[in-house]
Amino acid sequence: MGISCRNISYRYPNTNGFIFRDLSFEMPAPGFNAFFGPSGVGKTSFAKILSGNIQGYTGRVEMKGIERLAYSYNLERLPGWSTVGRHLDRIVPANRHALMHELIPVFGLEACLDQRFSQLSLGQKNRVNLIRYLLQDFQLLILDESLANVDEMTRERIILKIKEHFPETYFIYISHNVVEVSRFCREILVFRGLDKQPSSVVVTGQDLAAGKALDKAAFEKTVLEIMNAV
Ligand SMILES: Nc1ncnc2c1ncn2[C@@H]1O[C@H](COP(=O)(O)OP(=O)(O)OP(=O)(O)O)[C@@H](O)[C@H]1O
């Protein structure tokens, strides 16, 4: 079961340099893992390879027992011809409406349901977009900066709720927030760039869940390991 990527190398068509070379990544069990690294280092490109949006790479990508994969990113937009609430009602499968009503207050979206998507703030748009993904049928969801522009307290509430509600699902969380990936993710694939050897390392995170206390010393060690790797 799980995700196994071995020796992935990729160069965009008509460009000179590789984005990454011999990148490997393993995620044998469900949970929250992260991609972390400086802007432009290749996190989204790797996520697009995993999700099948980029072909033409070398190496091996295996998804065992994962057939339904979704990829959400923070620039996606919803149609503006109806209110957010009516749009969600229409696209969310009937058997998930109860979950939708459970998630809406956790996401802090009650006041947005009567508005049109174009009237929302960036953080509200990103939360609406993420909620519509969570209400679909998936086994792996890639969250590519899907909570950008959302305040820290709300992000924490959302992540803990996702972890609690989807314990058998694979999540890859792409974020620039070192504190967040250290606290909530089980393993963090740190992209270091092709000029460094090795060009990526895996750091163990704290994988915090609702109701659990954070081990502060272990958390600080994770943050330091990530910062040193970058
Ligand atoms: N379609 C494309 N054609 C050519 N080069 C591209 C294309 N898309 C991305 N790149 C380049 O690939 C590199 C990696 O981009 P990518 O978006 O994967 O980085 P990232 O780590 O996700 O960055 P960020 O944190 O800013 O989102 C960048 O140098 C970018 O310019």
Given this model, what pLDDT does residue 76 score?
Answer: 79
Tell me how far the alpha carbon of residue 50 lies from the centroid of ligand 1, in angstroms.
15
Report the distance separating Cα 189 and Cα 174, nearest Å: 10
Tell me how far the alpha carbon of residue 149 lies from the centroid of ligand 1, in angstroms.
20
Q: At CB < 8 A and 24+ separation, what contacts does 148-152 make?
A: 148/74, 148/122, 148/123, 149/74, 149/121, 149/122, 149/123, 150/123, 150/126, 151/123, 152/180
The residue whose two tokens read 């993904």 is: 133
Does ipTM top 0.95? yes
Given this model, what pLDDT does residue 112 score?
Answer: 95
- Which residue, by CA, sits nearest to atom 7 of ligand 1? 12
* pLDDT tens by residue, 141-167: 999 999 999 999 999 999 999 999 999
For residues 193 and 41, is the Cβ–Cβ distance under 8 A?
yes
Out of 93-97, 118-122, 217-221, give the one with best mean pLDDT.
217-221
Ligand 1 site, CB within 6 A: 12, 15, 19, 37, 39-45
- Which residue, by CA, sits nearest to atom 8 of ligand 1? 45
Four-CA torsion 15, 36, 73, 212, nearest 10 degrees: 170
- Which residue, by CA, sits nearest to atom 17 of ligand 1? 44
Q: Residue 90, SS3?
A: helix
Tell me how far the alpha carbon of residue 206 lies from the centroid of ligand 1, in angstroms.
28
Tell me how far the alpha carbon of residue 95 lies from the centroid of ligand 1, in angstroms.
38
User: Tokens for 9?
Assistant: 């190398």
> pLDDT class for 181, splitting at 50, 70, 90?
very high
Tell me how far the alpha carbon of residue 42 lies from the centroid of ligand 1, in angstroms.
6
Please choose, from the candidates 27, 60, 68, 23, the residue with its C-alpha nearest in 3D space to the C-alpha of residue 45: 23
Inter-axis angle of helices 122-134 and 84-91, to 10 degrees?
Answer: 20
Closest ligand 1 atom number to CA of residue 48: 18
What's this model's pTM, rounded to 2 decimal places?
Answer: 0.95
For residues 77 and 126, is the Cβ–Cβ distance under 8 A?
no
For residues 177 and 150, is the Cβ–Cβ distance under 8 A?
no
